[in-house]
C-alpha cells in the first residue's frame, strides 16, 4: 500500500492501460539514436520503476490533510506518464498534478485511456503544430493510441483529416473523423500527390526526406516518433523553406486533463479501446501490445476486492 503525503490523494485504481511507453520501458526498444539513453533512463541493472502503467482511472480512497480539490469517493483519472506505477491496486498522486475528475458519463475503462493518446495528440497538434481551423492534416498511424486521439482532436479543432492506416482500420478512422483515408500497404504515401498543412507521424515512416514534398507552404511535420537526429532537427527543412519539423515530448498541464474530460463528456473525444484484460492477465496484454498492431488502447481492469 503506497503512503500519501499531506498534499496527495490515494487512488484506488479501477482501470489502467498498457501503452507503447510500457513496451518501450520493458523492452528498451528505442528509436534510432536513443538506445544509449534507455538504460540510464529506465534502470541500469534492474527496472528503475518495476510497476509500469502510465495512466489510470479510479476512486479517491484517502486524502492528505492539505488536500482541498478532492474528497474520498471522487471518481478521477490521472496521468503518471514516465513515472509509471499505475499497474497496481493503489497509487498516490499530488492533488495539483496530472489528475482530474472523471466525466460522469464515462466508464473507468474509457477514462483510463484518455491521457496517453489524448495529451500527446493535444500537445503536438495544438501546442507544437498550432493547428488552425480548415487546415489539412495528415495523420500517419491513425489507428494507434496517439493516432486515433489525433484524428478526433484534429477533427474537433476544425482540421480536415486524412488518415493513414492499414485496410482493416479504414472504417475505424472514418468513423472517428477522417474525411479521407490512405491504406499505407496499398499506396506509396510519398507519391500520393496531395499536400497538407500538418503531417503528424506516429510511426517514423514519414520523415522529411521522404514526405517533405507533401507539406504546403508554411507546413509543419510533427514527429511523434522520430530518431534522435530528427529530434535535434537534423535532416529537416531549411529555415528559408518556411517549413518546420517539430519533435520532442509535449509539456502536459493539469488543465489539459480538464479539457480532455470536457471533450470526452461532450462526445468529441472517445478513446478507442481495442481489448480489455484483467490485471491478472497483464502478461497477455503486454504480449499483445508488443506486436505493435493494437487499435487505440489496451485496458487493464483492476477488480474491487
Ligand atoms: N513524442 C512523444 O511524446 C510520444 C508520446 C507517445 C508515444 N510516442 C511514440 O509514438 C509511437 C506511437 O505510439 P502509440 O501509442 O500510438 O502506438 P500504438 O498504439 O502501438 O500504434 C500502433 C498502430 O500503428 C499502426 N501502424 C503501424 N505501422 C504503421 C504504418 N507504417 N502506417 C500507418 N499505421 C501504422 C498499427 O496498425 P497496423 O500495424 O495494424 O497497420 C497500429 O494500429 C510509439 O513509438 C511511441 O513510442 C511518442
Domain with residue 204: its CATH number is 3.40.50.720
Give the list of residues 6+ apart from residue 52 with CB closer than 8 angstroms, or none: 18, 22, 25, 26, 84, 85, 86, 87
**Closest-lying ligand 1 atom to the alpha carbon of residue 148:** 16
Asked if the model's pLDDT at residue 198 lies above 90, the reply is: yes
The percent of residues in the chain predicted with pLDDT above 90, rounded, is 92
Asked if the model's pLDDT at residue 105 lies above 90, the reply is: yes
Give domain status of residue 265, yes or no. no
What DSSP string describes 3-34? ---TTEEEEEEEEEEE-HHHHHHHH----TT-
Residue-level pLDDT at 46: 86
* 173 touches ligand 1 (CB under 6 Å): no
Q: Are strands 160-165 and 90-94 parallel, antiparallel or unpaired?
A: unpaired
Give domain status of residue 264, yes or no. no
3-class state of residue 143 by DSSP: coil
- 269 confidence band (pLDDT: 50, 70, 90): very high
Domain at 110, CATH number: 3.90.180.10
Count structural domains, the chain: 2
Q: How far is the CA of 294 from the centre of ligand 1 (A)?
A: 9
Q: How far is the CA of 162 from the centre of ligand 1 (A)?
A: 16
- Domain extent, residue 138, equals 117-246
* 202 touches ligand 1 (CB under 6 Å): yes
Residue-level pLDDT at 98: 98
Asked if the model's pLDDT at residue 232 lies above 90, the reply is: no
The percent of residues in the chain predicted with pLDDT above 70, rounded, is 100
Of 144, 182, 249, 298, best ligand 1 pocket probe by most atoms within 8 Å of the beta carbon: 144
Contact at 8 Å (CB) between 101 and 74? yes
107-127 average pLDDT score: 98
Of 35, 55, 145, 146, best ligand 1 pocket probe by most atoms within 8 Å of the beta carbon: 146
Is residue 125 located within the same domain as residue 100?
A: no
CA geometry: angle at 127 spanning 28 and 266, to 5°? 95
Give domain status of residue 2, yes or no. no
Asked if the model's pLDDT at residue 153 lies above 70, the reply is: yes
Asked if the model's pLDDT at residue 231 lies above 90, the reply is: no
Mean predicted lDDT score pLDDT of the chain:
96
Q: How far is the CA of 3 from the centre of ligand 1 (A)?
A: 35
* 294 touches ligand 1 (CB under 6 Å): yes
Residue-level pLDDT at 301: 98
Residue-level pLDDT at 47: 87
Give domain status of residue 82, yes or no. yes
- 224 confidence band (pLDDT: 50, 70, 90): very high
Kindly report the protein residue whose alpha carbon is nearest to atom 26 of ligand 1. 141
**Closest-lying ligand 1 atom to the alpha carbon of residue 146:** 16
Is residue 51 located within the same domain as residue 14?
A: yes
Give domain status of residue 84, yes or no. yes
* 143 touches ligand 1 (CB under 6 Å): yes
Q: Are strands 196-201 and 215-223 parallel, antiparallel or unpaired?
A: parallel
pTM, two decimal places: 0.97
Give domain status of residue 34, yes or no. yes
* 98 touches ligand 1 (CB under 6 Å): no
Asked if the model's pLDDT at residue 305 lies above 70, the reply is: no
Asked if the model's pLDDT at residue 304 lies above 80, the reply is: no
Instruction: Calculate Rg over the CA atoms of the chain.
Output: 19
Give domain status of residue 46, yes or no. yes
- Could you report the per-residue pLDDT of 61-101, keeping only the tens digit for each? 999 999 999 999 999 999 999 999 999 999 999 999 999 99
- 250 confidence band (pLDDT: 50, 70, 90): very high
- 207 confidence band (pLDDT: 50, 70, 90): very high
Is residue 121 located within the same domain as residue 234?
A: yes
Kindly report the protein residue whose alpha carbon is nearest to atom 18 of ligand 1. 144
Is residue 12 located within the same domain as residue 104?
A: yes
Asked if the model's pLDDT at residue 194 lies above 90, the reply is: yes
Of 37, 52, 122, 143, best ligand 1 pocket probe by most atoms within 8 Å of the beta carbon: 143
Asked if the model's pLDDT at residue 120 lies above 90, the reply is: yes
Closest alpha carbon to 303 in 2, 1, 103, 13: 13
Give domain status of residue 258, yes or no. no
* 50 touches ligand 1 (CB under 6 Å): no
Amino acid at each position: 500500500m503506497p503512503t500519501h503525503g499531506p498534499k496527495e490523494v490515494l487512488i484506488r485504481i479501477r482501470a489502467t492501460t498498457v501503452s507503447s511507453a510500457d513496451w518501450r520501458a520493458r523492452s528498451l526498444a528505442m528509436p534510432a539514436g536513443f538506445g544509449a539513453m534507455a538504460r540510464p533512463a529506465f534502470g541500469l541493472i534492474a527496472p528503475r520503476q518495476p510497476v509500469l502503467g502510465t495512466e489510470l482511472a479510479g476512486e479517491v480512497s484517502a486524502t492528505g490533510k492539505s488536500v482541498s480539490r478532492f474528497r474520498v469517493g471522487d471518481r478521477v483519472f490521472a496521468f503518471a506518464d514516465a513515472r509509471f506505477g499505475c499497474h497496481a491496486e493503489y497509487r498516490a498522486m499530488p492533488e495539483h498534478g496530472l489528475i482530474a475528475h472523471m466525466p460522469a458519463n464515462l466508464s473507468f475503462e474509457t477514462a483510463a485511456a484518455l491521457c496517453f493518446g489524448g495529451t500527446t495528440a493535444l500537445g503536438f497538434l495544438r501546442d507544437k503544430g498550432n493547428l488552425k481551423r480548415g487546415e489539412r492534416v495528415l495523420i500517419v498511424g491513425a489507428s494507434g493510441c496517439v493516432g486515433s486521439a489525433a484524428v478526433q482532436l484534429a477533427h474537433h479543432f476544425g482540421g480536415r483529416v486524412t488518415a493513414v492506416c492499414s485496410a482493416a482500420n479504414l472504417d475505424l478512422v472514418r468513423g472517428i473523423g477522417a474525411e479521407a483515408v490512405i491504406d499505407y500497404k496499398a499506396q506509396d504515401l510519398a507519391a500520393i500527390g496531395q499536400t497538407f498543412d500538418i503531417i503528424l507521424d506516429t510511426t517514423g515512416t514519414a520523415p522529411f526526406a521522404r514526405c517533405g514534398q507533401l507539406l504546403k507552404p508554411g507546413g509543419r511535420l510533427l514527429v511523434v516518433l522520430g530518431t534522435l537526429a530528427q529530434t535535434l532537427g537534423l535532416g529537416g527543412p531549411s529555415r528559408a523553406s518556411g517549413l518546420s519539423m517539430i519533435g520532442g515530448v509535449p509539456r502536459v498541464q493539469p488543465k489539459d486533463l480538464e479539457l480532455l474530460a470536457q471533450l470526452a463528456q461532450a462526445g468529441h473525444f472517445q478513446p478507442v479501446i481495442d481489448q480489455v484484460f484483467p490485471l491478472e492477465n497483464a502478461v497477455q496484454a503486454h504480449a499483445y501490445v508488443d506486436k505493435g498492431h493494437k487499435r487505440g488502447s489496451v485496458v487493464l481492469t483492476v477488480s474491487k476486492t
